[in-house]
Amino acid sequence: MTRLPRLRSFLSALLRRRRLEADMEAEWRAHLDTHVDALVAAGMSRDEATRRARKDFGDPLRWKEQAFEVRGVSWVNDLGADIRYGLRQMRRSPVFTATVMVTLAAGIGLNTAVFSVIDAVLLRSLDYPDPERVLWITGGNKQEFVGAVDFLAWKEQATSFDGLVAFDISDSALHTADTVVQTRVASVSDDFWAVSNARPMLGRLPLEREDAVLLAYPFYVRAFHADPMVVGGAVTLNGRQVTIAGVLPPGFRPQLTKPLASSGIPENVNDAYRTLTVPPPTKAPNGMITTRLVNVIGKLKAGLSVERAQADLEAIRRRTTTTNVGMPLPPALRMMPLRERIVGDATRPLIVLLAAAVFVFLIACANVAHLFLARASSRRSEVAIRASIGAGRWRLARQFFVESALIAAAGAIAGLVVARWSLATIVRILPYGVPRLQETTIDGRALAFAAAASIVAALVFGLVPVWSMWKDDARGVLKQALYGTLPIGSRLRTRATLVALEFALTIVLLVGAGLLIKSLWRLNALPDGFHPDRIVTMEVQFFGPSYREVDVRRTHVAEVLRRVSAVPGVSAAAMTTNAGFTVRLNREGDPFPPTPNDPTAAFARGTIASAGLAQVMGMRLVKGRWLTDSEPSPAWVINETFVRRHFGDSDPIGARFRYPGGKEAWATVVGVVADRKLQRLDAGAEPEFYIDYAHDLTFGYSIVASVAIDAATAAGQVRRTAAGVDAAVPVLEVRTLEAVLADSIAPYRFNLFTVGLFAAVALLLASVGIYGTLAYATSRRTQEIGIRLTLGAARGEVVAMVIRQGMTVALIGTLVGLVIGAGLPRMMRDLLYEVSPSDPYVFAVASAVLLLVGFAASLGPALRAASVQPLVALRHE
Amino acid sequence: MATTTELLQGTLDLLILKAVSLRPEHGYGILLRIQQISRDALQIQQGSLYPALYRLEHQGLIASDWGESENKRRAKFYRLTAAGRRRLKDEAAYWKRFSEAIGLVLAAAPEDV
């Protein structure tokens, strides 16, 4: 009943204060006048009566204050005053305010951004209905594929799947009315449409056994200008006519392979989905079974375990392999959630990044804590004075609370800005193709948590000055504060512990960053004579029946190389297949030649090459000679690792290996080259061989040309020349080799950039911490230092004393951190290249850097202490 | 000053409610009436009446209107609301019981204890 009028009177007191005051004054004037009249009537003089009336009434200011209090609005007015006071305080100590804000912003912002990215990568990256039931099934033992023989048997007999999809992804040439476009085509077997819940927005799903494609929406717009008339028509894909059955809606993008950021196509989006009819295996007269290899995903039946499904598939495979093929059983299948397969690579670095962000966050909280502690001590006398002239404890507590809350809120807002910026940066530079990463938004829970934690830190430590009020009586504190005999020991210990903690956390980050720097440095160490910035590379793909014969392809390669070499600015041109295939080694005269599926067989990576490759790539010949373009029989040039592993100290020249790819059975080793990284900087040296292209040629190859002029200009020239040989053979992915290499180490650069950035932030915060603590401690010891100086201490000794104090804390923190650090980088092993996670050199340098920063931060307060004037200091007393 | 009693807040409230229950009254009038009712035993600073009035008004027990006093001054007149009337009744009943109890205690003979 009485609630509404109360609210009304509360609000009018709040909002119409002036009118209310005028009202009261009028009322009281009437009261006084009436009283004066009454007194005059009783025989008093008017002056006397007026004085008397005033006295009887009491102090109107007091009544006015009470009048507002009874309406419940005084706290609002006080809050306003507190906020104004707090803002004034913030303006008065801009350095303090800025430091707290930056610290909070870094802590909140980085943490929120990293957490948001992880959330997006781990939880929201798979576009399938029931994504947790979609499994990736591989042949195990590093093999990515499954034989079609198994797939067909599973499809027929397996009971634990709602659908099994065989697929294959390739870049194909699609001829439209006016041009040829490179098209990423996913060939998918018929269960795909159900598993991915594909619903064409135009047209229909393909019929059974129909050779048809469905276009992804972005590709439909890009290649066909969103012309609906193309649906139902035919296009030429890799030289074959296929029907465009329909167009899939814009949101349709189920992931099939691990997206490769270096593919040049963002997020590895498929442009078109083509029907795949898995062919049954064929049996040659000699009994050899040839089966197509396919990638397989399956949708698990609801409620079944992965183990159960695996047992199901293994049992079928055992039956099929032994009855049909008569081959020994390959290693066990590997089944994992498709999500893991797609974003697994990105997960590990992000976890490391999260750890780094949490470290920065902890350091930030510690810093906020001792920034406030430092301030608390400088404001104790203020508190004491205000308390002694009558400010209530609650009133003071509230005012400090408001002040801390203001700063914390400002920091949280700045944190939001930092979070947005870092999130955008991480999303832009994350080198792993994580599906839908671009859609990542700031995670509200993460932001709320980080903000809450740091604000609580600010509030708790902001109230420190009032806490001591609670314990001590105001007069005692006032006396102590004014005469400088305040016990500061315990608070200094707290602060020293916080600083040591910061140093411990920072050293771990620094070690992490150091390990990554060393990795990158190792990766970038390029041999002399190799100038990837002056090598252009492009891909050539043969299509169609006219290139079925190897001789036709060879003629094409020879013609392309002849013409490209003649392009002005090109100094040399060659073809290569970039270690694109692997061969089971079978050396002539080996008493135990390896059998198919022999688990002990040795392998080497093969590259088909032309005579110019050694010159273009600047390869160093160690022994024998390089390949020519007119070898009489298949010739191999092998690398040093190959020699070390298979020849030891004996001479490899003249040795022969069975070579199944070529027309003749045996290939002869004619030379040895030094180990090189030609395509991926992070690949360790493996046994490799190069074979002349006259004796083997696949359906695709790369042109590499070293150029003397601007690589971009030359690249265009080379591409046009190469494409001019036959317009039906597309030349695609034109880049400099430098770009290819840079892409191959993009993940390392990402890790280094992020962890390095976090380490730098941590270093900065830790140095602010030690600087603040020492500055505080020395200012507290001004008198002591003054006495020492008066008694004859040298200024150098004072400097040394302060620095010793700072370095003790720094050293303890660093040592503790090194112990933590010795265990932590284990999680970084996967992120490193040719660097041990406990590399002593990195640990030493990181410690040195940190201690140096600690020293530099101690120097300022130390010098200030030494410049104390003894007399001034003593007058402090 | 011996007759001055520290006014309990509740007592002042009760006196105000009683004072305005007879007819609408302005602040000065309420003060006179309280002095009259209490036979000058209760001395308060005149101004302190007003926060008490505003509190009761804030609680919805009394309401006020501007009007003209008997000596032609503009004054604010306070009157009892329905809620105030209920409160006065409850309080009066309470005080009555309380003073009866006190009276009984004081009137008790030694043999009753």
Asked whether the beta carbons of A788 and A798 are under 8 A apart, the reply is yes
Q: Do B60 and A67 touch (CB under 8 A)?
A: no
- What SS3 class is residue A182? strand
Cα B85 from chain centroid? 12
Asked whether the beta carbons of A759 and A356 are under 8 A apart, the reply is yes
Banded model confidence at residue A801, pLDDT cuts 50, 70, 90 = confident
Instruction: Note the pLDDT of residue A486.
Output: 45
Q: What is the mean pLDDT of residues A372-379?
A: 72
Banded model confidence at residue A200, pLDDT cuts 50, 70, 90 = very high
Smallest Cβ distance to B46: which of A5, A56, A62?
A56
Instruction: Note the pLDDT of residue A74.
Output: 62
Banded model confidence at residue B5, pLDDT cuts 50, 70, 90 = very low
Nearest CA of chain B to the CA of A17: how many Å? 14
Instruction: Note the pLDDT of residue A827.
Output: 67
Report the alpha-carbon distance of residue A577 to residue A723 in Å, rounded: 18
Which of A152-166, A307-321, A467-481 has maximum average pLDDT? A152-166
Banded model confidence at residue A529, pLDDT cuts 50, 70, 90 = low
Instruction: Note the pLDDT of residue A170.
Output: 77
Q: Do A34 and B46 touch (CB under 8 A)?
A: no
Instruction: Note the pLDDT of residue A351.
Output: 79
Q: Do A67 and B51 touch (CB under 8 A)?
A: yes
Report the alpha-carbon distance of residue B113 to residue B110 in Å, rounded: 6
A266, pLDDT greater than 50: no
Report the alpha-carbon distance of residue A578 to residue A332 in Å, rounded: 30
B74: contact with A, CB 8 A cutoff: yes
B2, pLDDT greater than 70: no
B3, pLDDT greater than 70: no
B95: contact with A, CB 8 A cutoff: no
B65: contact with A, CB 8 A cutoff: no
| Least confident span in A398-402, A725-729, A823-827 | A823-827
Instruction: Note the pLDDT of residue A273.
Output: 92
Q: Give the CA distances from residue A828 to residues A355, A408, A681, A822, in Å, rounded to whole numbers and listed in that order.
A: 11, 34, 19, 11
B35: contact with A, CB 8 A cutoff: no
Whole-number percent of chain A with pLDDT over 70: 82
| Least confident span in A106-120, A585-599, A806-820 | A585-599
Smallest Cβ distance to A2: which of B46, B47, B59?
B59
A389, pLDDT greater than 70: no
Which of A79-83, A429-433, A485-489 has maximum average pLDDT? A79-83
A764: contact with B, CB 8 A cutoff: no
Report the alpha-carbon distance of residue A844 to residue A822 in Å, rounded: 12
Nearest CA of chain A to the CA of B47: how many Å? 5
Q: Do B51 and A24 touch (CB under 8 A)?
A: no
pLDDT tens column, A404-428: 888 888 888 888 888 888 888 888 7
Q: What is the mean pLDDT of residues A672-692?
A: 75
| Least confident span in A119-123, A536-540, A543-547, A639-643 | A543-547
Q: What is the ipTM of this complex?
A: 0.84
Instruction: Note the pLDDT of residue A404.
Output: 82
Return the higher-pLDDT residue of A353 and A779.
Answer: A353
Smallest Cβ distance to B58: which of A6, A34, A57?
A6
A67: contact with B, CB 8 A cutoff: yes
Nearest CA of chain A to the CA of B51: how many Å? 5
Q: Give the CA distances from residue A535 to residues A485, A532, A633, A705, A708, in Å, rounded to whole numbers and listed in that order.
A: 74, 5, 30, 5, 9
Banded model confidence at residue A299, pLDDT cuts 50, 70, 90 = very high
Return the higher-pLDDT residue of A846 and A348.
Answer: A846
pLDDT tens column, A805-816: 888 888 888 888
Smallest Cβ distance to A27: which of B27, B51, B52?
B27
Nearest CA of chain A to the CA of B24: how many Å? 15
Return the higher-pLDDT residue of A114 and A120.
Answer: A114
Banded model confidence at residue A483, pLDDT cuts 50, 70, 90 = very low
Q: What is the mean pLDDT of residues A761-780?
A: 77
Instruction: Note the pLDDT of residue A1.
Output: 45
Q: Do A6 and B60 touch (CB under 8 A)?
A: yes
Instruction: Note the pLDDT of residue A436.
Output: 65
Asked whether the beta carbons of A681 and A738 are under 8 A apart, the reply is no
B67: contact with A, CB 8 A cutoff: no
Q: What is the mean pLDDT of residues A142-164?
A: 83
A471, pLDDT greater than 70: no
Banded model confidence at residue A260, pLDDT cuts 50, 70, 90 = very low
pLDDT tens column, A839-850: 888 888 888 888
- What SS3 class is residue A271? coil
Instruction: Note the pLDDT of residue A115.
Output: 84
Q: In chain A, positions 17-46, which contact chain B (CB-CB < 8 Å)?
A: 23-24, 26-28, 30-31, 33-35, 37
Instruction: Note the pLDDT of residue A246.
Output: 93
Which of A218-222, A508-512, B34-38 has maximum average pLDDT? A218-222
Instruction: Note the pLDDT of residue A188.
Output: 92
Instruction: Note the pLDDT of residue A626.
Output: 92
A437, pLDDT greater than 80: no
Report the alpha-carbon distance of residue A624 to residue A616 in Å, rounded: 19
Smallest Cβ distance to B47: which of A2, A26, A63?
A63
Return the higher-pLDDT residue of A525 and B96.
Answer: B96
A313, pLDDT greater than 50: yes
**Contact list, B54 vs chain A (CB under 8 Å):** 67, 70-71
Handedness of CA A683, A689, A690, A696 (dihedral sign): negative
DSSP percent split of chain A into helix, strand, coil, nearest 5: 55, 15, 30
Q: What is the mean pLDDT of residues B78-92?
A: 89
A-B contacts at Cβ under 8 angstroms: 76
Q: Do B50 and A35 touch (CB under 8 A)?
A: no
One-letter amino acid for residue A693 of the chain = Y
Report the alpha-carbon distance of residue A134 to residue A306 in Å, rounded: 10
Instruction: Note the pLDDT of residue A192.
Output: 92
Nearest CA of chain A to the CA of B54: how many Å? 6
Return the higher-pLDDT residue of A501 and A140.
Answer: A501
